[in-house]
Structure 1
Amino acid sequence: MASLREIKGRISSTKKTKQITKAMQMVSASKLNRAEENAKSFVPYSEKIQEVVASIAQGGGDASHPMLEEREVKRRGYVIVTSDRGLAGAYNASILRKAYQDIWNNHTSADEYRIIAIGRIGRDFFRKRNMAVDKEITGVADQPDFEDIKELASETVDLFTEEDIDELYVYYSHYVSAITQEVKKTKVLPLNDISAEQATKSSSASYEYEPNQEEILSVLLPQYAESLIYGALIDSKASEHAARMTAMKSATDNADDLIDDLSLTYNRARQAAITQEITEIVGGASALE
Structure 2
Amino acid sequence: MTGPGDAWPDDAGTSPTRSPWAPLRRVGVAGPVMVAAIVLVISAAVGSAPGAHVPSTATRSATAAAVVTPSPGGPASTPGPEAPAPSALAAVALLPVKGRAPKSGYDRELYGQAWKDVDRNGCDTRNDILRRDLTDQLLKPGTNGCVVATGTLLDPYSGTAIAFVRGQGTSSLVQIDHVVALSDSWQKGAQQWDAATREAFANDPLNLLAVDGALNQQKGDGDTATWLPPNKGYRCAYVARQVAVKYAYGLWVTQAEQDAMVRVLSTCPSQPLPTTAPEVPAQSP
Higher Rg of the two aligned structures: 1
**When you count helix as a share of all residues, which structure comes out higher?**
1
TM-score scaled by length of structure 1: 0.24
TM-score scaled by length of structure 2: 0.24
